Amino acid sequence: MKRARKRVLITGGAGFLGSHLCERLLAEGEEVICLDNFFTGSRDNIRHLLPHPHFEVIRHDVTQPIQLEVDEIYNLACPASPVHYQHNPVQTVRTSVHGAINLLELAKRLGARIFQASTSEVYGDPAVHPQTENYRGNVNPIGIRACYDEGKRCAETLFFDYHRQDGVDIRVARIFNTYGPRMHPNDGRVVSNFIVQALQGEAITLYGDGRQTRSFCYVDDLIDGIIRLMRAPDGITGPVNLGNPTEFTIRELAEEVTRQTASRAGYVLRPLPQDDPMQRCPDITLARSLLGWQPEVPLEAGLRRTIAYFAETLGLRVPEPALLRVVAGR
């Protein structure tokens, strides 16, 4: 007998992206099981959801099998920032590879559709710009970022082999730089680094000369893209790029954060980390054509919301003009 509402498993559900996905699916009437080992996820991210009658939290590591009865699976379990995934690189690989196998086996048994949160890191330091889904990447397999890059590449391999061999219904998204409320303040990512440094009155750290480029997608837009891919017609497996195609230099990002926080601390230059890509920007032609999706939130507006979040979380001050714009929704 089919349930009136879907029962959805979200691994990594207490993380930055996972908590937003839990919130969104609950708001749409689904029953959500949040599974997390709380290595990088936080109970604070989901605390407001705990009273919800259709929300459940399970503390579990995806590197170990689990038996549940669900209709859909979203696999977001893996440390996603260099600070965290390089902390224990072997465990990062296990999470990507063993985790994928365990969840694919679960999906196979249940006949459930399963989503894999892959990453733009599969493209490495790209020789093609912007990156399309048919570009095979330029990844250093023995570098310090390889635990994440190659772990995610192997997870994609597993997803497509389970699809071809066992008919598992898969969806794979390659997620580009995403930012917004509930980012970890010490995750080492550029947006959170710049905002926290600026709010604390510290000089913003620029690696290299700041001319390397990134594209920044606000979390609400990204969650919308993930759900659209999961609900797309049969046969649309991906991989599909999900990210904002508007490109900024790292220095331009620093300047916008400086402007919105009224920081006067300036910048400090540091050497570029090993294997840090010089360019990263998605071609989202496929997402536009297959999903009717493209980001809507401009960087300026998304940063205002994110700065307000960090200021409240850390008990720091947002300059009055910026705060007034947030309250007014502008």
Could you tell me which residues come within 8 angstroms of residue 51 by beta carbon, excluding any fewer than 6 positions away?
A: none
Q: β-pairing, 247-249 with 213-215? A: antiparallel
Q: What is the pLDDT of residue 320?
A: 61
Q: What is the pLDDT of residue 327?
A: 39
Q: What is the pLDDT of residue 99?
A: 98
Return the percentage of the chain with pLDDT > 90, whole number: 82
Q: What is the pLDDT of residue 324?
A: 41
Mean pLDDT of 248-257: 95
Mean pLDDT of 102-130: 96
pLDDT in tens, 150-197: 999 999 999 999 999 999 999 999 999 999 999 998 888 899 999 999
Q: Which ranges in 111-200 belong to alpha helices (H)? A: 146-166, 190-199
pLDDT beyond 80 at 72: yes
Q: Of 148, 162, 179, 309, which one is the catalytic site residue? A: 148
Q: Could you tell me the sign of the dihedral formed by the alpha carbons of 88, 94, 99, 100, in that order?
A: positive
Domain boundaries, the chain: 7-180+219-242, 190-214+245-279+297-328
Give yes or no for a contact between 262 and 110, defined as CB atoms under 8 angstroms apart.
no
Is 85 one of the catalytic residues? no
CATH number for the domain whose boundaries are 7-180+219-242:
3.40.50.720
* CB-facing half-sphere around the CA of 289: CA atoms within 13 A: 8
SS3 315: coil
Taking the model in full, what pTM does it have?
0.92
The domain made up of 190-214+245-279+297-328 is a member of CATH 3.90.25.10: yes
